[in-house]
Structure 1
Amino acid sequence: MSFLEELMGKGGLPGGAEAIGGVQELIESQGGVQGLTQKFSAGGLGDIAKSWLGRGNNLPISAQQIEAIIGSGPIGQFAQKLGVSPAQAAGVLAMALPIIIDKLTPDGDAANPKQGVDMGDILGGLLGGGAGGGLGNLGSILGGMLKK
């Protein structure tokens, strides 16, 4: 296990690389980045989702908002993949989805996203390289590491 995979799995993003792959699969199952951002818009959260596209700060989203838009079925499947509860899975999505969509759309184009992101992209987002409040996420990662 690489250092990045280990770091992502400790307190920051349960499941590490598997979680990132799972988030990307979930995005695809929702119609890709474009389909998912349209779902957020239809659910009244379009401004939040649009903030994740391209450069600039990403607006935060709650686990409850994620569940309202994506639904309990897909979140339950994601939870099973990670071996966590659906509530924890929604929390992982609330943290990871803004970063992953941000990294998939560096030019702000939801219709033509990159083909994937890697652990380095996500770690950069958690450290503040594109995610609003990134240093807070770093604090939760380090706090989680110290508890283990």
Structure 2
Amino acid sequence: MGLFDSIAGQVLGSLTQTAQAGGEQHAGLLEAVGGLVNNPQTGGLAGLISAFEEKGLGGVVASWVGTGENLPISAEQLQSVLGNEQVQEIAQKLGFSPEQLSGHLAQLLPQVIDHLTPGGAVPEGGVTGGALGNVLGLLQEVAR
């Protein structure tokens, strides 16, 4: 977990520099990521991965699930996958601009998906609340 701690620290450290409301936005951002990967209405993690594939970003998301290096994603690419309406809704709720939110999610989401799929595959039956809680809890601890 040392590498994950380091990566999470870098990602959340960059959020600290740009966040307007500090800890509340961090917690809200982590909650939003949790909602994206565990939303039963969109098919959870598997549905989110399918959305990336449908937008032509299957290779990018496959790198996050796989065991190799994670490919980067731009804020614009992420926004195209999630949709402007969803990004605007989350951004407004958290006090970010849609561009800021997309940028933060572009840094954070690959790491979360990578750590939710440690064996290089989406877990059978989706992501359990415990597994997601462990990853998000670790991110919160690193942020402190």
Q: Could you tell me the TM-score, scaled by structure 1's length?
A: 0.69
Please list the CA deviations of residues 23-74 of structure 1 after superposition, one character each: whole Å capped at 9, or x if unmatched.
1112334321111111111111000001111432110000000111110111
Q: For structure 1, which runs of at least 5 residues remain unmatched after alignment?
A: 125-140, 142-148
Secondary structure at the aligned position of 1:10 is classed as helix
- The aligned counterpart of 1:73 is 85
The ranges of structure 1 where at least 4 consecutive aligned residues each deviate by more than 4 angstroms after the TM superposition are 6-9, 121-124
Q: Which moved more, 1:58-67 or 1:20-29?
A: 20-29
Identity of aligned residues (%): 36
Q: Distance in 2 between matches of 1:106 and 1:113?
A: 12
1:47 to 31, 36, 59: 59
Q: Distance in 2 between matches of 1:120 and 1:22?
A: 15
Question: Amino acid of the residue matched to residue 11 of structure 1?
Answer: Q
2:46 to 34, 51, 54: 34
Q: Distance in 1 between matches of 2:33 and 2:101?
A: 10
Secondary structure at the aligned position of 1:35 is classed as helix
2:98 to 86, 92, 100: 86
Question: Amino acid of the residue matched to residue 19 of structure 1?
Answer: L
Mapping for residues 88-107 of structure 1, pairs under 5 Å? 88-107=100-119
Q: Distance in 2 between matches of 1:70 and 1:16?
A: 20
Do the aligned partners of 2:15 and 2:104 also contact (CA within 8 Å) in 1?
no
Does structure 1 residue 57 correspond to structure 2 residue 75?
Answer: no
Aligned residues: 121
Call closer, same or farther: CA 1:35–1:19 in 2, change over 3 Å.
same
Q: CA deviation at 1:9?
A: 4.9
Q: Could you tell me the TM-score, scaled by structure 2's length?
A: 0.70
Question: Amino acid of the residue matched to residue 29 of structure 2?
Answer: A
- The aligned counterpart of 1:19 is 29
Structure with greater helix percent = 2
Computed over aligned residues only, the root mean square deviation of the Cα atoms, in angstroms, reads: 2.8
Do the aligned partners of 1:8 and 1:123 also contact (CA within 8 Å) in 2?
no
Q: For structure 2, which runs of at least 5 residues remain unmatched after alignment?
A: 1-8
